[in-house]
Structure 1
Amino acid sequence: MSERKVLRAQSSLMSQIEAISEAVQLGEPHLDPETVDFAATVISRAQTRRQLSADHVVIGLFGATGSGKSSLFNEMAGAQLARTGVIRPTTTKTIAAIWNPDGSGELLDWLEVDERHVVDSMLGTGKASRGTGTSGGLILLDLPDMDSTALGHHEIVDRLSGQVDVMVWVLDPQKYADASIHRGYLDGLASLEGNLLVVLNQIDLVAPSDRAEIQNSLTGLLAQDGFRGLEILPVSSKTGEGIDALRARIAKLAENKALSIRRLKADVDQVVHRLVAELGVEQVNAPGKLDQAELEQGIAAAHGVNVIADAAAKSYLLRASSHTGWPLTSWLVRFKNDPLKRMNLGRNHERPELALTSKPPLSAAQSAGIRHSVNTYLSRASDGLPAGWTDNLRASAADRLGTMDQEIDLAIASTDLAVEKKSWWWPLTRVLQWVSIVVALGGALWLGALAVAGYLQFAVPEPPKVEGFPVPTLMLLLGLLLGIVLGIAGSFVNRMVAKMKRKRVHRNLERSVAGVVRQNIVDPVAAHLDQFNSYADLINQAAKKAD
């Protein structure tokens, strides 16, 4: 890979790491903990490896007891550095053979390799190296046996399988099909095919006529593990068969400084593919205005805004009747119960936000109606949302429902119902009512005086007439008629105004309830969905750079 391509791969990898890091930070509360741990491990490992020596390629020899990996390690190093044998475990700790050690210290510290041997020969040829030679900056590791009975050895193998740049799996003709190798390791490494090499060691133990069959069998097993064209090198550390080819292959790998980047990118791509698989959708949309209005109106109705609006209209009619009704009987209206005041509303408290209503507590049906409205809204909001994000959205809404009822009660109590204000025509109507009473009473008294005077045989002049009708009679009739007309007209106008008041009160109450609903449900849901969309955008950005 050219230097330009290496720089491009580094830039792509860095962009992926930044996007995934930010995405996991956003989505951590909503993701599967295993996914978060996996992503955190890979990102941390990638960030650390990028800061360490880019001049060294780390190649690890993996294999089971008796596979001969330590013998191959010694062959490559050109010295007896690792103990060989068939006793389990043979290799008890990781051993490093280092070509060109400058700058390798921190890298080996990160790999937690304490036993280090600097190799002067040209990758096992016994010749002294000059400069970087064909081996470049190579670190060759001999790992503990993957089937060791010691738990610590398994932990070392598992850790280093994620840290080395290239894995060389050393298999032998007897155990190449071992399930612990394929199901335990190889079937999860298909994405690292470019950073993996399979060596079939001890090929000298297989008759030449059987070698093709064994290699075909191993190829088939590797295909089941997901490898499409993985290279298999048959070698024998005992006879030297294939050793030169293995040396040449490792030397070529050591010269490829892009291997560490390719390995890190393959690991990061695994994280990306896993996050994309759990993503489900690329973006979700918040419920529309109609959905929001349905939610707000449903909760408002459950909290009795219709009942309160009716009470406000009735309260207005009672007060209007006491001000515009017949003055001689309208005072009786004051003894009627005001439904609004029974609910501790419409009293114009100095601090209405501290006043609670006295309306009955929510019934089971009303509570169920609120939950239904909220669940319907959440279902529309979470359409397509991954399970973790949906569960947390519903749990958060359920927590807020517990306090929302009291907040709505306070909002209703602090709503201006405008029922205490007097209508401008009330005083005028009252004056006209009294005028009608005075006129009718004056006419009645006049007629009464005329009747008494006539009964007592007093000579009294006839009352003046208008169009043939006596004035006192007209006064009585017009006064009574004016009172009746004022009563009917006032009742009609008051009912019309009461209807308008009801609509206004209903609208104000819904607006107050809607403010609480938006604060507790709508806005948190919108913020949750915006957070998911930001998370999804970051995942999709990383996915575009994945192979």
Structure 2
Amino acid sequence: MAERKVVRAVNGLNQQIDSVIGAMELAEPYLDPDSIDLAASVIRKSESRRKLSSEHVVVGLFGATGSGKSTLFNALVGQELASTGVIRPTTTNTVAAIWDTAGANELLDWLEVTDRHVIEESAEPRRRSSKKDFDSGLLLLDLPDMDSTRVEHHQIASRLVGQVDFLVWVLDPQKYADASIHHGFLNSLQSQQGNILIVLNQIDRVAESDRKNIVSSLRDTLASSGLERLPIVCASATTGEGLDEVQQQIAAAAKNKAISTRRLRSDVDQVVHHLNGQISVEKVRQPSQMHQSELERTIANAHGAQYIADAVETSYKLRAARRTGWPVTTWLIRLRNDPLQRMNLGRKRDEPELSITSRPELSVAESSAIDHAIDKYVQQSTEELPDSWHEPIREQVGANVEHLDGAVDAAIASTQLGVEKSSWWWPVVKFIQWVSLLAALTGALWLAAYPVAGYFQFDLPSAPRVEGIALPTLVLAIGLLLGIVLGIACSFVNRIVAKVKRRKALRNIERSVSGLVRTAIVEPVDEYLTTYNSYATLITSAAKKAD
């Protein structure tokens, strides 16, 4: 049963660590440095501890100067290993008592403890029964005084607070409310309540009538720091009072091989809760298709999509009129400027992607419309994100947009507008127009030949008649009417086709611009939101495991 508990604890810790590591890999560029440092420190410590002996439980005795911590350590060990006396501080380096050396040295190396003592069975106090014997996997540490004036002592104690598996806080009954101990150390260990024991040492110096009040006051002090569930044992290393209970508590911790995992789990839980507290929502919504289309259409219109589409319609009608109009009047159409040619558009190109347009630069109003549309899109997309996630995507989109104008111009220049090639029926109409014009000229010359011949006294044969109408007159009339009617009919058809061309050109331009907008704005935003959603999912999942 105990082994299954250890396996479950290890598996749960592994899942949490994997979630936090995955979350950090995704979101490291977007988190504040303090959160990153906290997560990295805890994960690094957890990874290191997991590689070391799982059969040992590290119990550390922490306390302030004069709390009798070293005396208690010696009493628990049964040997005078730690220095005691009136000179302060008495403990200048960490002392380790070892009951089983197998795998202990690597663990002590990680703890940076060099003063090591192996405890033999014969050296244990005789007053302890076998039921109270310490587990062979126990590593008991006596640490330097927490309030030592020497900086290195304070640093050692602070470091080991985050490394040992079970913490025994030894308090002086006359200085148990020392603010430096509570605010400097205990207040930061709320998540470790299951791994902490409070020993009110030197209780023999306190009158029996005062002990209850001191314990009650200490409980209130601890509760105000969120540590209301800590067990408190009154003991005296000098008289032996309460020593058995302290031994039992430590022995129980030493036998619980999952305690180191539980300690690491508490640290990881703290990180997870910290990160989970920064999550605004578990999953942000992706921008709607309507918002994306609005952005793309606004940018396309600001770059003249509607104006170019109108020019396509006009250009097609001009080109069609030149090719299908009555040849007598088409020279007038050539005097009109083609709006597409003014913009260097609508021409056949071998390499259209290398072309640029001759469109005027964007006006202030057009640039403002683009900036406003982009800002609105990014704001709507990121409004659910935590504050620390807003700026990175704005900077990324801003960097992409700097090159957007030139890319849009090149994209428009390479867009097929539908007027680059002639319509298949233009040559047919042109041929008929010239045939009709030739017929009209033939009829006119034939009719003109009669008065000229009469002037020069030539007799010409009478012109054939069709239904009483002279053939030259009929040919002239048919040629003229055919050319005019065909020109009018083609003009009507050309207007209809020009509107179709306009719609297709507008669609093609918007499609070209949309591709660039998606690459520069939409896709980075979508990818960014997906990253946040993956990060939030991992952290939320880890937080649920922590609960």
TM-score (norm 2): 0.92
1:293 is aligned to: 293
Counterpart of 2:411 in structure 1 is 411
Separation in structure 1 between the aligned mates of residue 468 and residue 88 of structure 2, nearest angstrom: 138
Given that residues 133 and 251 in structure 2 are in contact (C-alpha distance below 8 angstroms), is that contact kept between their aligned partners in structure 1?
Answer: no
Q: In angstroms, what is the RMSD of aligned CA positions? A: 2.6
Distance in 2 (CA, whole Å) between partners of 1:188 and 1:13 is 21
Find the counterpart in structure 2 of residue 226 from structure 1: 226
Q: Quick check: 2:443–2:473 contact (8 Å CA) kept in 1?
A: yes
Q: Map 1:522-537 to 2 at 5 A.
A: 522-537=522-537
Q: Is 1:349 aligned with 2:337? A: no
User: Where does residue 64 of structure 1 map in the other structure?
Assistant: 64
The letter for the 2-side match of 1:421 is K
Cα displacement (A) at 1:500: 1.0
Once the two structures are superposed, residues 82-124 of structure 1 have per-residue CA deviations (whole angstroms, 9 ceiling, x without a partner) of: 2234554332221112222232100000000011122225785
Q: Which residue is 1:518 aligned to?
A: 518
> Could you say what secondary structure the match of 2:144 adopts?
coil
Aligned equivalents of 2:11 and 2:517: distance in 1? 46
Mapping 1:232-251, distance limit 5 Å: 232-251=232-251
Q: Give the Cα separation in 2 of the matches to 1:95 and 1:128.
A: 22
Q: How far did residue 461 of structure 1 move? A: 7.5
* Aligned partner letter, 2:322: S
Alpha carbons 1:236, 1:242 under 8 Å: kept: yes
Structure 2 vs 1, CA of residues 85 and 303 (structure 1 numbering), >3 Å: closer, same or farther? farther
1:118 pairs with 2:114:
no
Deviates more, 1:329-338 or 1:352-361: 329-338
Shift of 1:179: 2.1
Residue of structure 1 equivalent to 2:436: 436
Deviation at 1:126, TM superposition (A): 5.0
Instruction: Provide the residue aligned with 2:491 in structure 1.
Output: 491
Which amino acid in 1 is paired with 2:280?
G
Q: Given that residues 192 and 263 in structure 1 are in contact (C-alpha distance below 8 angstroms), is that contact kept between their aligned partners in structure 2? A: yes
**Deviation readout 1:383-433 (Å, 9 max, x if unpaired):** 422333332222211111112222222221221223121122322322333
Moved more, 1-10 or 82-91: 82-91
Which letter maps to 2:270?
A: Q
Letter in 1 for 2:281: V
User: In the aligned structure 1, how far is the partner of 2:364 from the partner of 2:204?
Assistant: 82
Aligned match of 1:154: 154
Tell me, in whole angstroms, the C-alpha distance in 1 between the residues paired with 2:309 and 2:88. Answer: 86
Inter-CA distance 370–85: structure 2 relative to 1 (3 Å threshold):
farther
Mapping of 1:28-47 within 5 angstroms? Answer: 28-47=28-47
Query: Percent identity between the aligned chains?
Result: 56
1:138 equivalent in structure 2: 138
Letter in 2 for 1:34: D
Aligned partner of 1:3 in structure 2 is: 3
Comparing 35-44 with 321-330, greater Cα deviation is found at: 321-330
The secondary structure found in structure 2 opposite 1:93 is coil
Change (3 A) 1:496 1:522: same
Which amino acid in structure 1 is aligned with residue 428 of structure 2? L
CA 1:122–1:218 in 2, change beyond 3 Å: closer, same or farther? farther
For structure 2, which runs of at least 5 residues remain unmatched after alignment? none
Distance in 2, Cα, partners of 1:295 & 1:470: 68
Cα displacement (A) at 1:173:
2.4
Give me the whole-angstrom Cα distance separating, in 2, the residues matched to 1:342 and 1:485.
Answer: 32
| SS at structure 2 position matched to 1:159 | helix
Letter matched to residue 109 of structure 2: D
Pairwise CA distance, 1:233: 0.9
Deviation (angstroms), 1:486: 2.2
SS in 1 for 2:278: helix
C-alpha offsets along residues 512-543 of structure 1, whole Å, 9 cap, x if unaligned?
11222222222222222222232233223323
Superposed, which structure 2 residues align to 1:261-276 within 5 Å?
A: 261-276=261-276
| Aligned residue pairs, count | 547
| Aligned counterparts of 2:429 and 2:102: Cα–Cα separation in 1 | 105
The alignment partner of 1:545 has SS state of helix
Report the Cα distance in structure 1 between the residues aligned to 2:204 and 2:112, rounded to whole angstroms. 35
3-state DSSP class of the match of 2:402? helix
Checking the alignment, whether the CA contact within 8 Å between 1:121 and 1:129 is kept in structure 2 is no
Instruction: Pick which of 377-386 and 72-81 moved more.
Output: 377-386
Name the structure 1 match of 2:386. 386
Separation in 1, partners of 2:279, 2:410: 40
Query: 1:123 touches 1:251 (CA, 8 Å); kept in 2?
Result: no
Q: Judge which range, 438-447 or 298-307, deviates more.
A: 438-447
Q: Which amino acid aligns with 1:166?
A: F
Alignment correspondent of 2:336:
336
Partners of 1:243 and 1:130 lie apart in 2 by 15
Cα distance, 1:122–1:528 mapped onto 2, change above 3 Å:
farther
Deviation at residue 216 of structure 1 after TM alignment: 0.8
1:368 Cα offset (Å): 2.2
Higher mean displacement: 245-254 or 255-264: 245-254
Paired with 1:459 and 1:357, the residues of 2 have a C-alpha distance of 66
Judge conservation of contact 1:122–1:133 (CA < 8 Å) in 2. no
How far did 1:58 drift? 0.7
More deviation in 25-34 or 451-460? 451-460
- Mapped contact 2:171–2:199 kept (Cα < 8 A): yes
Give the superposition deviation at 1:456.
8.7
What secondary structure is seen at the aligned counterpart in 2 of 1:198? strand
CA contact (8 A) 1:78 1:121 kept: no
Three-state SS of the structure 2 residue aligned to 1:197 is strand
Query: Hey, what does 2:49 align to over in structure 1?
Result: 49
Q: Which moved more, 1:104-113 or 1:284-293?
A: 284-293
Alpha-carbon contact 1:122-1:129 (below 8 Å) kept: no
Aligned twin of 2:541: 541
Any idea what SS the aligned residue of 2:384 has?
Answer: coil
Please give the secondary structure, in 1, of the residue aligned with 2:397: helix
Amino acid at match of 2:144: P
1:406 aligned partner, one-letter code:
G
d(CA) in 1 for partners of 2:346, 2:460: 58
Distance in 1 between residues matched to 2:468 and 2:87, nearest whole Å: 142
Partner of 2:425: 425
- Counterpart mapping for 1:297-336 below 5 A: 297-336=297-336
Q: Which deviations, in whole Å up to 9, do the C-alpha atoms of 1:311-340 show, x marking residues without a partner? A: 222222221121122213313433432221
Separation in 1, partners of 2:405, 2:87: 73
Q: 2: distance between equivalents of 1:205 and 1:364?
A: 84
Q: Distance in 2 between matches of 1:93 and 1:183?
A: 23
Matching residue's letter, 2:399: D
- Paired with 1:122 and 1:265, the residues of 2 have a C-alpha distance of 36
Gaps in structure 1 of 5+ consecutive residues: none
Instruction: Give the distance between the partners of 2:458 and 2:135, measured in 1 at CA.
Output: 150
SS in 2 for 1:189: helix
